[in-house]
Amino acid sequence: KMLKEARKKNTMPATPRLSGAQRAVLSVYRKMLKEARKKNTMPATPRLSGAQRAVLSVYRKMLKEARKKNSPDVLIQQIRLKFRENQHIPRRQMNKIEYYLSYARNQLEIMKNQQNVTVSKVSVIPNTKKESL
């Protein structure tokens, strides 16, 4: 009785009630999933090659580094744009992939070493720390 009153007052969220047919479908679905897991026929995430993993790693690192900068939104947009432009390179063109991967790694190092990065025609404000002897 208290539960009904709480639901009427909207102080307690209503739980969805399943019909008999919905429960039966859900039960069959759960059994199928359980059997598929046992047989190891579950659709797994696609296996990535070494180059694909390397590209994703550099991409994530660049996005992470961009978030630390002064204008992260613009920088992140440019990073995404560059990676999207080159995402359709065939897997067999390893020379091209390695070239762009090394270019991305160099850009990542530049991003890490610079204090302020602005994205425009005049692109970079270098790190101005001076070491004393």
Helix count and strand count (H, E) for the chain: 5, 2
Residue 30, pLDDT above cutoff 60? yes
Tokens of 43: 């659709």
Q: How confident is the model over 80-117, as pLDDT tens digits?
A: 998 888 888 888 888 999 999 999 999 999 888 886 55
pTM: 0.53
Cα–Cα distance, 33 to 46 (Å, whole number)? 19
> Which pLDDT score, from 0 to 100, does residue 105 have?
92
Contacts of residue 76, defined as CB under 8 A and 6 or more positions apart, other chains included, come to: 63, 66, 67
| Residue 88: alpha-carbon gap to chain centroid | 18
Residue 92 structure tokens: 């067999």
* Per-residue model confidence as pLDDT tens digits over 35-88: 877 777 655 567 777 888 898 899 999 999 988 887 788 888 999 998 888 888
Instruction: Give the integer Cα–Cα distance in Å for 112 and 67.
Output: 11
